[in-house]
């Protein structure tokens, strides 16, 4: 049996893109991943599909028991020959008990590796526009635990030295003891007027910040019902925040935007919205499912060389057709002399990813335009793999030009109903959604059919759509859309959303 190994990996402070390349590599080879509560759930997508995932968070009052259980799991799985990733928020060795866990592994003779992470002690202030060191402001900083153990009379922390001997003090896990922390610093010589900032959910679109002084920050936090997880920053560097708060200046910062697109297609859309500062809520209304036992598709694939053209109208049609091609023991060479038409840039990119350069890309996605621009298609055999609910406009236009068309449904658009949708409905009722996005008529139809009173629930919610057909679906339900993409592309929809909020801020 091959010996196992444990990787103690820092997941970073919250923004999933702040995990290191080495951290991603470890996740992709893991057999078992034990992850903490502060780990961004988006990182779950980087796990190997077959990896066993174990939640390692600790509830108040059971920390020691749960830690002992995690220690045992790491040892047992590794001795069974498994590769284990212990995924921890921030950096494993900065108040993450990574040192304790490494000692357990060392004493058990287990092979392990430490993969440092970006610590919230520096990353969270940076996202709040606060450099922990700065010429003329601070030449030293300290990271201190604010946990209750650091505040009792036996604590080894020299508060009397830290209070006046360190320029910038960053305190983790201290919001619950904020009053005692500020009092200790003041009693030990720090000026009550020292600028103090609290940052909650730092490095994420949910980031919230409170500014004050050592004298009044506790009262401000109580008035705002400020809770953990949060970082406390004490020092003159906080004065720079008004000039450097870059993250909170993003155009969509704090906007809660619902994405209803199928999960397999939404990653790029979500990423672009998040990059603009949005808080993205994902509630897929549809799922793309290949049509099972599709004999007609198999026959078309086996006789692919008999066609003059194959017209791909979406990335779904490319991906599902190619997957079935491979399942039948073939590859892109099977297209041979067949000409390929790709409708749209995304479809072109999907074809390029499987090694095919389209022969023709129409100027528009309208069926009549495509048929006209393909020119002389009389008596030519044309295959159009598409959704079962796809519109017949393209096929009809080609047949009018005397083409022989095989209009081939290869996938279904299936309605999704589950826990995510129930959570979305609750947020909608509570007014926790600023905008809903629809990228197809089917997503809009399924979403609006879920609502008992769409006009009431959507009264204060903005609507952004791609395409005239999607816009018509929205209007058929008695609603109006606020944004329609000037081109049928995700990039354009994001740009239009950004511009909308710039004007309507």
- 208-213/195-200 β-pairing: antiparallel
CB 224 within 8 A of CB 210: yes
Per residue, the 3-state secondary structure of 185-200, as one string, reads: HHHCCCCCCCEEEEEE
Q: How confident is the model at residue 60 (pLDDT cuts 50, 70, 90)?
A: low
The question of whether 435 is a catalytic residue gets the answer no
Reference 130, options 11, 10, 232, 215; nearest CA is 232
Q: How far apart are CA 502 and CA 483, in angstroms?
A: 13
Helix pair 315-327, 295-302: axis angle to 10 deg: 80
pTM over 0.85: no
**Which SS3 state, helix, strand or coil, does residue 360 take?**
strand
- 404-415/286-290 β-pairing: antiparallel
Q: How confident is the model at residue 148 (pLDDT cuts 50, 70, 90)?
A: confident
Based on C-alpha coordinates, what's the Rg of the chain?
Answer: 28
453-494 pLDDT tens trace: 888 889 899 999 998 889 999 999 999 999 999 887 888 999
Furthest CA-CA distance within the chain = 91
Strand arrangement, sheet containing 339-342: 286-290, 404-415, 381-387, 309-312, 339-342
From 5, 15, 173, 435, active-site residue:
173
Beta carbons within 8 Å of 478's beta carbon, 6+ residues apart: 454, 455
Q: Residue 96 CA to chain centroid, in angstroms?
A: 24
Asked if residue 148 has a cis previous peptide bond (ω within 30° of 0), the answer is no
From 53, 58, 245, 330, active-site residue:
58
From 36, 91, 406, 434, active-site residue:
36
The question of whether 36 is a catalytic residue gets the answer yes
109-134 pLDDT tens trace: 999 999 999 999 999 999 999 999 99
Residue 234, CA distances (Å) to 112, 131, 132, 164, 171 in order? 36, 12, 9, 11, 8
Query: Is residue 360 predicted with pLDDT exceeding 90?
Result: yes
What pLDDT does 153 receive? 74
318-336 pLDDT tens trace: 999 999 999 999 988 899 8
Q: Which two tokens stand for residue 20?
A: 């290191």
Residue 97, CA distances (Å) to 86, 106, 130, 171, 484 in order? 11, 14, 26, 16, 50
Q: How confident is the model at residue 104 (pLDDT cuts 50, 70, 90)?
A: very high
Residue ranges and CATH numbers for the domains of the chain are 5-118 (3.40.1010.10), 122-247 (3.30.950.10), 256-285+416-503 (3.40.50.10090), 290-413 (3.40.50.10090)
The question of whether 58 is a catalytic residue gets the answer yes
Query: Is residue 98 predicted with pLDDT exceeding 90?
Result: yes
* Length, in residues, of the chain: 505
What pLDDT does 15 receive? 92
Q: Residue 124 CA to chain centroid, in angstroms?
A: 18
CB 284 within 8 A of CB 407: no
Backbone angles phi, psi at 406, to 5 degrees: -100, 100
What pLDDT does 244 receive? 97
Render 90-143 in DSSP notation, one character per residue.
B-TTTTSSHHHHHHHHHHTT--EEEE----HHHHHHHHTT--SSBTTTBS-EEE
Give first-to-last CA distance, the chain, whole Å: 61
Q: Which region, left, alpha or beta, applies to residue 225 given φ > 0 means left and ψ of -120 to 50 means alpha?
A: left
Q: How confident is the model at residue 59 (pLDDT cuts 50, 70, 90)?
A: low
Strand partners, 464: 437, 483
């Amino acid at each position: 049996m091959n010996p196992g190994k444990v990787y103690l990996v820092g997941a970073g402070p919250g923004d999933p893109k702040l995990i290191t390349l080495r951290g991603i590599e470890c996740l992709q080879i893991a057999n078992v991943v034990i992850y903490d509560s502060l780990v961004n759930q988006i990182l779950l997508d980087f796990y190997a599909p077959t990896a066993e995932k174990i939640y390692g968070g600790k509830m108040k009052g059971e920390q020691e028991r749960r830690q002992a259980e995690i220690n045992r799991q790491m040892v047992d799985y590794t001795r069974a020959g498994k590769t284990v990733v212990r995924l921890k928020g921030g950096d494993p060795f900065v108040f993450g008990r990574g040192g304790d866990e490494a000692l357990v592994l060392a004493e058990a003779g287990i092979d392990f590796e430490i993969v440092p992470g970006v610590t919230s002690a520096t990353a969270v202030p940076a996202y709040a526009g606060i450099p922990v060191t700065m010429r003329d402001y601070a030449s030293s900083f300290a990271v201190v635990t604010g946990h209750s153990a650091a505040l009792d009379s036996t604590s080894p922390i020299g508060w009397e030295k830290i209070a006046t001997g360190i320029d910038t003090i960053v305190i983790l896990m201290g919001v619950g003891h904020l009053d005692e922390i500020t009092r200790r610093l003041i009693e030990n010589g720090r000026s009550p007027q020292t600028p103090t900032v609290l940052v909650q959910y730092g490095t994420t679109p949910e980031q919230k910040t409170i500014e004050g002084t050592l004298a009044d920050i506790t009262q401000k936090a109580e008035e705002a019902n400020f809770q953990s997880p949060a970082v406390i920053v004490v020092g003159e560097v906080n004065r720079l925040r008004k000039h450097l708060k870059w993250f909170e200046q993003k155009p969509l910062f704090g906007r809660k935007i619902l994405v209803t697109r199928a999960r397999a297609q939404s990653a790029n859309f979500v990423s672009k919205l998040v990059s603009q500062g949005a808080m993205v809520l994902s509630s897929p209304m549809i799922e793309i499912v290949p049509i099972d036992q599709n004999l007609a598709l198999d026959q078309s694939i086996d006789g692919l060389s008999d066609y003059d053209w194959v017209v791909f109208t979406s990335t779904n049609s490319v991906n599902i057709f190619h997957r079935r091609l491979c399942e039948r023991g073939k590859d892109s060479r099977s297209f041979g002399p067949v000409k390929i038409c790709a409708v749209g840039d995304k479809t072109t990119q999907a074809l390029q990813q499987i090694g095919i350069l389209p022969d023709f890309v129409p100027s528009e996605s309208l069926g009549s335009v495509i048929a006209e621009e393909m020119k002389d298609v009389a008596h030519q055999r044309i295959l159009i793999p598409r959704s079962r609910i796809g519109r017949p406009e393209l096929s009809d236009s080609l047949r009018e030009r005397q083409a022989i068309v095989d209009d081939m449904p290869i996938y279904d658009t299936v309605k999704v109903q589950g826990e995510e949708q129930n959570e979305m409905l609750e947020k909608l009722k509570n007014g926790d959604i600023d905008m809903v996005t629809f990228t197809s008529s089917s997503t809009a139809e399924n979403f609006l059919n879920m609502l008992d009173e769409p006009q009431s629930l959507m009264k204060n919610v903005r609507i952004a759509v791609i395409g005239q057909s999607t816009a018509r679906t929205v209007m058929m339900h008695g609603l109006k859309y606020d944004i329609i993409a000037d081109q049928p592309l995700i990039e354009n929809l994001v740009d239009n959303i950004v511009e909308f909020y710039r004007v309507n801020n």
